[in-house]
A and B are shown apart, each in its own frame.
Chain A
């Protein structure tokens, strides 16, 4: 049985990572994510894991990927400025198809911005932050329970799809304290790395002709090469145009083709909803509250919460839009995800953003105002 605890979102992420089997953390402290580092430095050695504080976020991301290639489930935590530095080696994890989990507790930007205040300004950077075509999985928690449960899911996706996963939290959720159930191991489904079982001489870590190739780890009988350059099925450098084409398509397809399996969404009062709120992360809490207030006023409002931001849960968004009279998208940015929703507009449904960029959370009243305007039309 699980254990009821009262803790902070950042702390629950550490517990979630450890429950998922993570035993290596490399990072660089940054507000508002530092509690993940602090609690990891306490908890990891208790479970024979390892915490290392690197000289910067570039080195942190590198150490994380190295540790994963050597067989340890690995994670780091940062905020916007650190994500910018991690973007470089995030590409190595993408190209080398090395699982790892990167937590971004978003704060106001650009640059140092409002270092202690919440924002959701990294939504598109999480998707496109490292250069070159690729796909990536990004999950967005909206409660302390999510910080635990979804973290386990982040590691599972990471191993299952051989990809870095970005856990896109924000200051609201990172510093939120509420009740959480720390589930026991038997209550959790943990996906372990698909290690090869073939003759070591035949092992090709990048031969995806029969589904995603198994991934070994350094020190096993399976010798392998990780290469940030274009590579063949053994990981040896290969600059052939057809090979480069196939790799880039594979890096995208291995995730996009499974978008429906990866999609996590939550629906609240959606059965008869005419005004649909599509939201995520810290702003989803305000949206839920606004929806309840709207219902009290007799407005048929509903919420579609997007938990898997990337790949985009297209089916769920399209479905929600088909029934909507209007869609309202609250975000702590100038509208980074609303474009993804507008793209799936089946007709001329009004899609309205409610945006806040002053370092304060969106208040339910702000969202309610827009709901009422749309309901009155």
Chain B
């Protein structure tokens, strides 16, 4: 039962009406439940931000650290105890902006953990300022005349950094999201899922995208599958969310490789 993993006394969720975070949390807990992971052998680490509050609502072990640093906390946890199932939850401000350095190195280092980056295109918690994924021309609290920078394509960054599993979904297509998170869990190594999610309170309001249902429609209308995107021009893809699996390959993870080093030195523990 997914309720076994939900700390019900902390409900209702503090997230705004129309926020996608609850949908992502449910998809994650459904997958954890389906695989029979226990509260004892699961650790959920979070950064700081709206999505960073997700650990408040789970009954598993959790670690709520600092803004942008969830991945290095997870790295230590997983390497110290490889039997744990470690999930790292980050927002776009957290994961790719202040924590961008940790993200690319985590992708390269390939520790066996799952990272879920919920991208709502702005800093929700602090009131709607621009982040590293805010698109050019978008209005935010700190780009009142239109954003002059380009936003990251997060999956391309993580893929280029060497992660063996990279995928993107949206909170509109929950069936696909469930599958992507499931595949990420079952893939050994650093497995990364970006989830496009609406922030009607800030990004939606600032950019006149309408209320929560309209924003959901906006995400749907701008989503393109990876297969379809392959036949589209860069101009046609501007402002679109390409979904699907971008990388899925076997690659020896850090823990396995390091264990081989330890085993090669065996011949009596030299304490």
Contacts and interface: CB of A to CB of B under 8 A. Distances in A.
A46 B261 CA distance: 9
A134 to B, nearest CB: 15
Q: Specify which of A56, A67, A68, A219 lies most central, judged by the most chain B CB atoms within 10 Å of its CB.
A: A219
B261 A45 contact: yes
B77 A89 contact: no
B107 to A, nearest CB: 11
A48 B56 contact: no
Interface of A: 18-19, 24, 26, 43, 45-48, 50, 52, 54-56, 58-60, 62-72, 74, 88-89, 91-92, 185, 217-221, 223-229, 235-237
14 contacts: A46-B269, A50-B79, A54-B72, A55-B72, A66-B75, A70-B78, A72-B81, A89-B69, A185-B271, A218-B81, A219-B84, A226-B62, A227-B62, A228-B65
Given A59-B69, A223-B60, A64 B76 contact: yes
Contact of A218 (B59, B79, B84, B105): B84
A148 B99 CA distance: 36
B69 A47 contact: no
B246 interface: no
A48 B269 contact: yes
B76 A66 contact: yes
Nearest to B69: A62
A373 to B, nearest CB: 50
B41 interface: yes
Nearest to A219: B81
B11 interface: no
Contacts of A46: 265, 269-270
Contacts of B80: 24, 50, 66-68, 70-72, 74
Interface in B65-109: 65-66, 69, 71-81, 83-84, 101-102, 104-105, 109
Given A225-B55, A228-B65, A74 B84 contact: no
Given A67-B77, A67-B80, A70-B81, A236 B40 contact: no
| Size class of the contact patch on chain B | 35 or more
Interface in B89-144: 101-102, 104-105, 109
A225 B76 contact: no
B82 to A, nearest CB: 10
Contact of B77 (A45, A52, A218, A228): A218
Q: Specify which of B69, B77, B83, B254 lies most central, judged by the most chain A CB atoms within 10 Å of its CB.
A: B77
Nearest to A49: B262
B264 to A, nearest CB: 9
Nearest to A23: B80
B83 A219 contact: yes
Given A219-B41, A220-B40, A92 B75 contact: no
Contacts, number: 148
B262 A223 contact: no
A221 B254 CA distance: 26
Contacts of B10: 236
Contacts of A88: 66, 69
Contacts of B56: 236-237
Given A62-B65, A63-B75, A89-B69, 20 more contacts: A24-B76, A46-B265, A47-B269, A54-B105, A55-B72, A59-B101, A62-B72, A62-B75, A65-B65, A66-B75, A70-B84, A89-B66, A218-B43, A220-B40, A224-B61, A225-B61, A225-B62, A226-B63, A227-B62, A236-B7
Interface string B231-271: 00000000000000000000000100010011001000111
Q: Specify which of A66, A88, A91, A236 lies most central, judged by the most chain B CB atoms within 10 Å of its CB.
A: A66
B39 interface: yes
B271 A71 contact: no
A326 B56 CA distance: 57
A88 B253 CA distance: 29
Q: Specify which of B72, B79, B270 lies most central, judged by the most chain A CB atoms within 10 Å of its CB.
A: B72
Contacts of A221: 40
A60 B102 CA distance: 10
Contacts of A62: 65-66, 69, 72-73, 75-76
Contacts of A74: 76, 80
Nearest to A26: B76
B40 A52 contact: no
Contact of A55 (B62, B65, B101, B261): B101
A65 B61 contact: no
A223 B69 contact: no
A226 to B, nearest CB: 5
Given A46-B270, A55-B101, A59-B105, A65 B64 contact: no
Contacts of B72: 26, 54-55, 58-60, 62-63, 66
Contacts of B69: 58-59, 62, 88-89
Contacts of A217: 81
A218 B61 contact: yes
A226 B55 CA distance: 10
Contact of B40 (A63, A68, A223): A223
Contacts of A67: 76-77, 79-80
Contacts of B254: 52
A64 B79 CA distance: 10
Q: Specify which of B40, B61, B62 lies most central, judged by the most chain A CB atoms within 10 Å of its CB.
A: B61
A26 B75 CA distance: 10
Contacts of B71: 59
A246 B240 CA distance: 50
B84 A66 contact: no
A164 to B, nearest CB: 14
